[in-house]
Amino acid sequence: MTDNKRRWFLAGAGSGMMLAAAAGVRAAEKPDSPERGGAEDVGAVEDLMREHGVLRRVLLVYRECATRLRRDRAGVDPRAIADAARLFRSFGEEYHERKLEEAHIFPGVLKTGGPAAAYVDVLIAQHRRGREITDYILAVTNKGSIASADAEPLARVFDQMDLMYENHAASEDTIVFPAWKAALTAAQLDKMGDLFEDIERAQFGHDGFEDAVARIGRIEATLGLADIAQFTASPPPRV
């Protein structure tokens, strides 16, 4: 075994991550970090896109909770929903949106004056609407149980948040971030990657992404959503 392989083996063993990954279960543990022999030094755009991955996992929680609210309201754990909303607030709204996109990405894209600049106003409006929605989710789930009168309105809010933010993040991933990146030199991009890391550490005091992945993993585990095999589609109808 080479030194590298040995380090990787020792990092994985004992954490249960190797077994969990083999079974397709999203472990509620920290992902690989440089200290554990995992990936390191991600670029600015990869950073933003993997943050979207965490936010998409919150949206998947919302989507599943919308279905459950309509099927069996009493079986829905409001604390898990509130945890998901708090994660969206701290990691999505206060960090990813406010400290990275609104402070750096959107101004940079506006400066290019290209077609992606036309997206900025609507993306900011959607950030604002998302924050109103998070306020609402926290208010409704703050009562210990979800009132019968709140179930369908909350489910509808989840549907709308899911549709809005999936479109939002997909447009950023494929149009806005590429336009921002194209306007920078490799050296400037490198600098932005370092700056984003500094902002992350200033905001969270450590690696916020790792913590966010661990938090969404715990929420999924609480709701029985950790095993992704349950989401494998049925075979399509024969034609």
Q: Mask 66-105, x = binds Fe ion (CB under 5 A)?
A: -----------------------------------x----
Question: How far is residue 87's CA from residue 54's CA, in Å, rounded to a whole number?
Answer: 9
Residue 98 CB, shortest distance to Fe ion, in Å, is 10
What the block records as the tokens of 88 is: 């969206």
Residue 101 CB, shortest distance to Fe ion, in Å, is 5
Residue 196 CB, shortest distance to Fe ion, in Å, is 13
Instruction: Give 85 or 223: the residue with its C-beta nearer to Fe ion.
Output: 85
Residue 172 CB, shortest distance to Fe ion, in Å, is 5
- Give the number of C-alpha atoms closer than 13 A to the C-alpha of residue 104, restricted to the C-beta side: 19
Instruction: Give 80 or 169: the residue with its C-beta nearer to Fe ion.
Output: 169
Stretch that binds Fe ion, among 38-46, 60-68, 104-112, 170-178 (CB under 5 A): 170-178
Residue 64 CB, shortest distance to Fe ion, in Å, is 22
Residue 61 CB, shortest distance to Fe ion, in Å, is 18
Residue 232 makes CB contacts below 8 A (sequence gap 6+) with: none
Stretch that binds Fe ion, among 22-30, 108-116, 139-147, 167-175 (CB under 5 A): 167-175
Contact between 36 and 160 under an 8 Å Cβ cutoff? The reply is no
Contact between 109 and 180 under an 8 Å Cβ cutoff? The reply is yes
Instruction: Give 83 or 101: the residue with its C-beta nearer to Fe ion.
Output: 101
- Token pair 């494929």 in the structure block, residue: 174
Contact between 200 and 208 under an 8 Å Cβ cutoff? The reply is yes
Stretch that binds Fe ion, among 66-74, 172-180, 199-207, 219-227 (CB under 5 A): 172-180
What the block records as the tokens of 174 is: 């494929």
Sole binder of Fe ion in the list 83, 150, 162, 172 (CB under 5 A):
172
Question: How far is residue 5's CA from residue 64's CA, in Å, rounded to a whole number?
Answer: 39
Q: Please give the distance of CA 140 from its chain centroid, rounded to a whole number.
A: 22
Question: How far is residue 232's CA from residue 12's CA, in Å, rounded to a whole number?
Answer: 26
Question: How far is residue 35's CA from residue 46's CA, in Å, rounded to a whole number?
Answer: 20
Stretch that binds Fe ion, among 70-78, 164-172, 179-187, 198-206 (CB under 5 A): 164-172
Q: Residue numbers of the site for Fe ion (CB under 5 A)?
A: 101, 172
